Structure 1
Amino acid sequence: MRLQATQPWPDWPEPTSRAPVADEAVAPDFLPPELRVPTRQEVAGVMMRRQHPLVIDGEVRTCPECGMYRDWIVCCMRDDSVWLRCRAGHETKEPGLDAAWFNRHSGPVDRFHPTLEEGLRYLGH
């Protein structure tokens, strides 16, 4: 470290910005459409299965229609709202959860489904 402190810094040229030249070719996307991962703006939402009871603010969340308290499908929508779907198919918006909670508790996205029904079938609902 002493040696580095005594050595003079090299005289590097200052970086310059250059405007793009009009005749430069723009590289096309290198992946075909079927291999590209959709961006968050291209999907309606993401979902995960939560088999254990869901505790929000110290209370176990139950379905307001049937009273079920476990085996939820948790959906995080594009607008960052979180919806719960019970095994019976009842859906309710959960104001106590947000996209940050969903991201902390979900695993990586492993599959994209063209419809909600296909996603639910994949998750076992």
Structure 2
Amino acid sequence: MRVIINDQQPRTTVPDTPPGDDPLLRLQQETEEDHPRIRFTTHPEPITIAGITVMCPACGARRDWMVICDVPGRLFLRCRCAHQWHEPELTRTDFDAMIDAPDRKYPTLEAVARDIGYDGTLTGAYFPQ
């Protein structure tokens, strides 16, 4: 009979961390990019593609959009009724021409929509420009 004794020291040691300090969250915050992965802007005017004004298929709205651009450069339109769809005819260049303010950071896209009124609570509302 052969007995194996493991008398090796562990290769790594876990440092003591104060309560409430999560090393993974800290690392994520330290390595987070300066620009968000999803960018957005609002566009109060109508959007026209190939001479046709974009209309929300859910409520019929023709202006006051939330324009969302993800990392691959795809653009999505979101209406105040919270209906959102991919608009393949719009490009990253179109988005860059529409953007009106520096990026604001939000934890989720739903938090953005709720904060700026595109979560369905303002369905049918149009604001003066």
Regarding TM over 0.5, the answer is yes
* Greater gyration radius: 1
**Shorter-chain TM-score tier:** 0.5 to 0.7
Deviates more, 1:103-112 or 1:52-61: 103-112
Counterpart Cα distance in 1 of 2:104 and 2:32: 10
1:69 aligns with 2:95: no
Change (3 A) 1:35 1:104: farther
Alignment identity in percent?
A: 32
Q: Which of residues 96, 115, 121 in structure 1 aligns to 2:114?
A: 121
5+ unaligned residues in a row in structure 1: which ranges?
1-32
Q: TM-score, normalised by structure 2?
A: 0.61
Aligned length: 92
1:79: which partner in 2?
Answer: 72
CA contact (8 A) 1:53 1:60 kept: yes
Q: Give the aligned residue type for 1:38.
A: E
In 2: Cα distance, 1:35 partner to 1:49 partner: 29
Q: 1:38: Cα distance to partner?
A: 2.5
Runs of 4+ in 1 over 4 A off after TM superposition: 33-37
Q: Are 2:39 and 2:103, in contact at CA under 8 Å, matched by a contact in 1?
A: no
Matched residues in 1 for 2:29 and 2:105: separation?
12
1:112 counterpart = 2:105: yes
What is the TM-score of this pair, normalised by structure 1? Answer: 0.63
Q: CA RMSD in A?
A: 2.4
